[in-house]
Amino acid sequence: MLSQLSDTHLRQTILDIFSAGIDTSRITLYFAVRYMAGLPEIQSKVQEEIDRVVGKDRLPGIKDRENLSYTEATLHEIMRLGTAAPVGLPHSTLCDTRVGYDVPKDTMVMINHWALHHDPNYWKDVEKFDPTRFLDENGKLGMKPESWLPFSAGRRVCLGETVAKPELHLIFATIMQRFKITLPEGTNPELELGGSGGFTQPAPYEIIVTDRINT
């Protein structure tokens, strides 16, 4: 196998690690900070849960994740409304396929994640930021909605999903535990989109960060 690992393969693998493994997480956290700055009531609920479950004397850990359901649901809602890769990555059909219409072999196929995450047939009040849509009647994280696919789906689902989810949770929970994030006075709380190419991200913004632990 090593004999087949050329310089081209190495460059492509490293590019994948940085673009798929780092950029998407960075953009998701960029969305997270902006949403929390514009939604102080949601931010307060996240911080109340973290203070209750984790406290302020230590950082959140992996074992805390199952008890931080509202925090996790908030992150899910961030990934729904702030879809980092709106049409994912291109794939190709291996054979002639029919999915309501004919798709010939070797056709490039892309999943419109943005459309799935903004489909009013699956999401009530589709443009409203509402973490509770991911919680069950007991306030715990419920089953994953079939129209929530930030990591794609099927056999070619993102290989980094099992790493990205706990990683994003740890970083997000730690930011929320330690800092209060607000917008400068006079800033429109509504998030504006920016970005280019295959990624979507918030338009450039300014925030005010206040230490919650040492003040």
- Residues in binding site: 158
Q: Tell me how far apart the terminal alpha carbons of the chain are, to the nearest angstrom.
A: 56
CB 201 within 8 A of CB 31: yes
CA distance 59 to 64: 10
Q: Please state, in angstroms and as integers, the Cα–Cα distance from residue 165 to each residue in 7, 71, 132, 172, 183, following that order.
A: 31, 12, 18, 11, 27
Whole-angstrom distance, CA of residue 158 vs CA of residue 150: 9
**Is 167 within 8 Å of 21 (Cβ atoms)?**
no
Known binding residues for heme are 158
